[in-house]
Chains A and B, each alone.
Chain A
Amino acid sequence: MRTPLALATVGAALLVVPLLAPAYYVTLMLPFMAYGVVLLGFNLLFGYTGLVSFGHALFIGIGAYTGAVLTTKLGVRHMELILPAAALAAAIVAAPVGALCVRYVKIYFGMLTLAFGMVFYTFLLKFYRLTGGDEGMRMLRPYLFGSEWAGFNKTAYLVGPYYYFSLGVLALATLLMWRIVASPFGLCLKTIRDNPLKAESLGVSVPRYRWSAFMISAVYGAVGGALLAPPTGNVDPTLAYWTHSGNVVFMVLLGGFSSFFGPLLGAFAFIFLQDTVMSVFPYWRLIFGAILAFIVIFAPGGLMGLFARRRGPVEVSRE
C-alpha cells in the first residue's frame, strides 16, 4: 500500500512542478526525466541481469544523433516519430554488439562495451561531414502532440509541452519496465544475475536472455538520449564519451541498483546535486568522486538502500 501511495504522491508532484516551481528548476527536471528512461534500461542490464556496461553512452549518443539527423537533415520534426526511430537505430546497432558482448561477463563485458562506445565516439568526432565532428549537430525543436508550438518561446516550450511530453515518456517507460521485471522474462534475468550455472541447469538460455536484456537497455538508452537533446538544441560527441557512461553508472549506484526506483532517484539526485555543487565549487568532480567512494563503502544499496534500512538490511555483493 505504501508504494502505490508514494507513487501517486510523486506522480502528482511531477504534474504540478511546472505550475509551482521556477522555470530554472523545471528545466533541470528535463535531463532527470531523460536520464530516468536511460537508467531504467541500464538497470535491467545491471541490477537485474548482473552485467555492468561501461559503454552505455553509445546508445544515448545514437538516440540523440538520430533526433538531430532527423530534424536537421531529413525534415522529420515529430517527436512521436523520432523516438521510435531512435529505438530502431539503437536496436540495429545493439543486435550485433550485444551478441558479441554477452559472450563475456564481469570486467570483460564492461571493457567490450566501453570499447564499442569509444568506437562510436571516435566516429562522431572524426566523420566531420556526417556528424559535425567536435561541434556536433543542431537538434531542431521537435513537434509534440502533432503541434509545432510556434507561439511558445524556448523556455515556455521546454517547461510546458516538452516537460509533459517527457513526463509521459518516462511514465510509459517506467510502466513497461515494471511489467518486464515482474514478468517470467524478468524472473529469468534475475536467475542469471544470481547464478548463471544454476540458471542454465534449469533450462534458462543465459546468452539469449542476456542479449535480450542488452537490446531492451539499448532501446531505453536511445529513447532517453533522444529526449536529452532538444533542451540543449545541440548534440555533440561527448554524449557518447566514456565519462558519460561513467555518469550513468554513478547515477545507478547513487540511487541504488537493487531497487526498481533506485535509478530514478539516482538520476534526480545526480542532476540536482551536480547543479548545486557546480554553482558553488568549480572542482565538482572532486566532490562527486568522494560521494561515489562513500556510497560504495558505506551505502552500497545507494539512497534507496538507506531508505529501506528501516525495513531490513540491503545485502549487496562485493564480488
Chain B
Amino acid sequence: MILEAQDLRKRYGAYVALDGVSLAVREGEFVSIIGPNGAGKSTLINLLTGVLAPSEGRVRFKGRDIAGIGPVALTRLGMARSFQLVQIFPELTVLETLQAAAVSRLRRGARLFASLRGDRQVQSEALEVARLFGLADRAHSPARALPQGDKKLLDVASAFSLRPEIILLDEPTSGVSTADKHTVMEILVGAARRIGLKAIIQVEHDMDIVFGYSDRIIALHQGKVLADAAPAVIRADARVVDMVIGRRAPC
C-alpha cells in the first residue's frame, strides 16, 4: 500500500466536509475520485497532500503519517500534485518552469552562485520532460503566452518533473478542449510509464476520462465514500449513477 487514509474527518466549524473517509492506493493503480460539487473531493485531495490536517483520522504515505506536513515535505517524500485551476509561473518560460522542478528535486536551490545554465543534469531533465509532454517546441515561450491547454499541460508536466512516486491530479483536463482531452491523458499516462510513477490519483468530472483510464473509482457523496470499486462495478451501481454520475455511465 503506497497511500492509505483511515477514517478521515474534516470539519469547518459545524460543517463536516469529510465524514469518515477511508481509502487505500496500491502500487501500479490509477484511481479516480468522482463526486458532485460539495462532495468533499478538494478537501480529500488537500488532506491527502498534507496541505490540510484532518480533524480526525490518519493519512499514511509509504507507511509514514503525513497529516498536515505541508507540500514541501511531501514533495521530498515522493508525492506531487497539480491543481484544478491552472497554476503556472507566468513570467518564466516553459523550460525554466521545468528547471525549477528539477532544481527542487535535485536539492540544488541553495546553490547561490552556481550557474543554472551550466547545470547539465537540470537542463537535460527539464528538456526531457518538455519533450515527453510535447512542449519542447515552446520551451522558450513564457508560460503566460501559452494556449490554455498547454498551460494545463505545463502545470502537470512540472509536477511530473519532480519524478514523484505518486501524483495527485485535480481535474487534469479542466480547461482543455474536448477534442484534446484524450491527447492530454495519453501524454500523461505515457509520461507516467516513462518516469516509473507508482500510482496516479485524479479528481475528474469528465466520465469518459474517468472510465477510460481508471483501474478503480472512488465515488464521494456528501463527504462519504459511496462506492470504491473497479469501473465495471461502478458502471453497474445504480446509486452511483443516480447520485454522482447523473446519467448512464459511458461504456
Cβ–Cβ contact B100 & A204, under 8 A: yes
Cβ–Cβ contact A187 & B87, under 8 A: no
Q: Is the interface of A mostly helix, strand, loop or mixed?
A: helix
Cβ–Cβ contact B162 & A184, under 8 A: no
Min CB gap B86→A, angstroms:
9
Q: Mark B8-41, 1 if CB is under 8 A from A, else 0.
A: 0000000000000000000000000000000000
- B165 near A: Cβ within 8 Å? no
Cβ–Cβ contact B91 & A204, under 8 A: no
- B238 near A: Cβ within 8 Å? no
- B184 near A: Cβ within 8 Å? no
Min CB gap A84→B, angstroms:
17
- A148 near B: Cβ within 8 Å? no
Q: Mark A56-97, 1 if CB is under 8 A from B, else 0.
A: 000000000000000000000000000000000000000000
Residues of B in contact (CB 8 Å), total 41
Q: Mark B77-120, 1 if CB is under 8 A from A, else 0.
A: 00011110001111110001101110111001111111111010
- B76 near A: Cβ within 8 Å? yes
Q: Report how many A-B pairs have Cβ atoms within 8 Å.
A: 105
Min CB gap B99→A, angstroms:
6
Cβ–Cβ contact A184 & B108, under 8 A: yes
Query: When A182-B116, A183-B113, A204-B100 are in contact, do A194 and B108 touch as well, CB less than 8 Å?
Result: no
Question: Which chain A residues (158-183) contact chain B, with CB distance < 8 Å?
Answer: 176, 179-180, 182-183
- A203 near B: Cβ within 8 Å? yes
- A300 near B: Cβ within 8 Å? no
- A43 near B: Cβ within 8 Å? no
> Of residues A180, A187, A193, A197, which shows the largest number of chain B Cβ atoms within 10 Å of its Cβ?
A187
Cβ–Cβ contact A195 & B89, under 8 A: yes
Cβ–Cβ contact A201 & B83, under 8 A: yes
Min CB gap B156→A, angstroms:
11
Cβ–Cβ contact A194 & B92, under 8 A: yes
Beyond A201-B82, A201-B159, list 5 extra A-B contacts (CB 8 Å): A184-B109, A195-B87, A200-B71, A201-B71, A203-B71
Name A's B-contacting residues (CB within 8 A): 176, 179-180, 182-188, 190-191, 193-195, 197-205, 209, 315
> 10 tightest CB-CB pairs across the interface, nearest first?
A203-B75, A194-B89, A203-B104, A198-B87, A184-B103, A184-B108, A188-B109, A179-B113, A200-B71, A191-B100
